[in-house]
Amino acid sequence: MAILVTGGLGYIGSHTVVELLNNNFEVVIVDDLSNTERFILKNIEEITGKRPVFYPFDLKRRELLTQVFDAHHIEGCINFAASKAVGESQLKPIDYYENNLFSLINILQEFKERGISNFIFSSSCTVYGQADKMPIDENTPLKMPESVYGKTKQMGEEILSDFAKAYQRKVSLLRYFNPIGAHPSAKLGELPIGIPNNLVPYVMQTAAGVREKLNIWGNDYPTEDGTAVRDYIYVVDLAKAHVAALQKLMQSTSEEALIDIYNLGTGKGSSVMEVVKAFELANIVEVPYQICDRREGDITIAYANADKAERELGWKSETSLEEALKTVWEWQKYLETRNTEIKL
């Protein structure tokens, strides 16, 4: 019995594979290596002492996916594989719809035909848009996301809800807030391929001198210091939530709801400026920055009410912002030791 982890060599996927292996799950990874590198597999093995089965192919290739389902007794899936760059999704909408939705549908076809249940979907707080009140709980009304990337997440949720109801299967929709940090071993983290869009990788590279200055997108928001507020959740905490969500799905009885939805965040908002200062303090480094105009499509504030995950999964975020940011700096140092392979 194995768990299929798509995108299992990616940022959140690789951390989750480690937690699954540590909890004695058998793991089968499918990843097309479009946004990661092969050495992550070796590092997973170094951390856990176990080597998961790995297939390098694009999930749009249904015939290859069928072979994986033929070869393994798959009893659940955590689906991380997706394109995730917000800006790029606006420029390449059809590629985003094709990649994110066809791959999902291909897995669900296999699930449908083989009677498999237990599907965990990587969703995002972006499905809430700018919510009217904080913190955001799971009953907060969804808004049409600004980006194509966000729309693929909302559509994915709808496809899975229909799948669950029509075929009586269990699914869990996990809405991540802003994942940050790296593995404490410094062997896994977010690979900075190209110019980072997200705040923490950009801060990391600025502190390392790879980027000259951090651009802070706007200091005229109606927040305490004028910079936008998000809920930064440590990636290892986030990975553990997947194991808890999977265990709940696998243990649930037929009387329980078919669709679980959880917000995964810390419950605490931090401003861009607070993140920059916390990074400087945690790592005793300087992060030069300049204030710029607001970035198009950004919201002012988003932080989670994650009480439902605590109540039903027994999970809560445990790692402070400072601790998470320390792991980011250790990861950067690790990357510098292998800089020949990293595309900056």
Cβ nearer to ligand WQD, comparing 25 with 279: 279
Residue 80: both structure tokens together: 């991380």
Coil/strand/helix, residue 201: helix
Is 289 part of the annotated catalytic residue set? no
Cβ atoms of 248 and 195 within 8 Å: the answer is: no
- Smallest gap from Cβ 254 to ligand WQD, in A, equals 34
- Smallest gap from Cβ 15 to ligand WQD, in A, equals 14
Cβ nearer to ligand WQD, comparing 118 with 227: 227
- Smallest gap from Cβ 46 to ligand WQD, in A, equals 26
In degrees, to the nearest 5, what angle opens at C-alpha 9 toward C-alphas 194 and 67? 125
Cβ nearer to ligand WQD, comparing 1 with 292: 292
CA distance 302 to 299: 8
Cβ nearer to ligand WQD, comparing 230 with 240: 230
CA distance 236 to 65: 28
In degrees, to the nearest 5, what angle opens at C-alpha 240 toward C-alphas 236 and 244? 170
Dihedral sign for Cα 54, 315, 154, 169, please.
Answer: positive
Exactly one of 149, 221, 234, 303 is catalytic; which is it?
A: 149
Residue 166: both structure tokens together: 């029509």
Other residues' Cβ atoms within 10 Å of the Cβ of residue 73: 11
- Smallest gap from Cβ 102 to ligand WQD, in A, equals 19
- Smallest gap from Cβ 84 to ligand WQD, in A, equals 4
Residue 176: both structure tokens together: 């991540």
Q: Which residue is nearest to ligand WQD (CB)?
A: 228
Contact footprint for ligand WQD (CB under 6 A): 84, 86, 124, 126, 178, 197-199, 202, 214-217, 228, 230, 272, 295, 298
DSSP state of 135: S
Cβ nearer to ligand WQD, comparing 47 with 104: 104
Active site residues: 149
